[in-house]
Amino acid sequence: MNELYTAMATAEGGREGRVASSDGNVDVQLTLPKGLGGPETAGTTNPEQLFAAGYAACFHSALKRVARGMKVDTERSTVTAVVGIGPNDTGGFALNVELEVNLPGAEHDVAEAAVAQAHELCPYSNAIRGNVPVELTVTELG
């Protein structure tokens, strides 16, 4: 791979600590989610939310690139990543993801084709393919 960019972040304290990027642009307090036994604490986040945010943004960029080539308008499009965590059958934990893609104005079959191509292009999709189930849902609201 010809590496074009490298991101670096350091965590202290695990799920109940802090994570910060090397450039200081990300610096957040982490709290264990309520569903995993943590408190509801305003102003904090967790690794699943950070993963969902990164995946949604990255997938949306891939979608916009694919859609541009297909002459599909993405100005009002959105991608929502829903990331779940739960126990797996080997005593650890696993993730699952649903990507909800809203592509207003596109015909359903065209939108599905664009989403499928974006799923092949997106580095997050490529990184987790075969390890994390990803469900793609396409809507065309508005």
What pLDDT is stored for residue 138 in this prediction?
Answer: 96
Distance, C-alpha 1 to centroid of its chain: 22
Q: Does residue 140 surpass a pLDDT of 90?
A: no
3-state DSSP assignment of residue 92:
coil
The tokens describing 21, both together, are 């990027």
What tokens were used for 31? Answer: 């709290």
pLDDT tens, position by position, 44-97:
999 999 999 999 999 999 999 999 999 999 999 999 999 999 999 999 999 999
Domains defined for the chain, CATH in brackets:
1-45 (2.20.25.10), 47-139 (3.30.300.20)
What is the biggest distance separating any 2 CA atoms in the chain, rounded to whole angstroms? 47
Gap between the Cα atoms of 108 and 114, Å rounded? 10
CA distance 133 to 84: 10
Looking at the DSSP bridge assignments, the partners of residue 99 are: 81, 136
- The answer to whether residue 142 scores a pLDDT higher than 70 is no
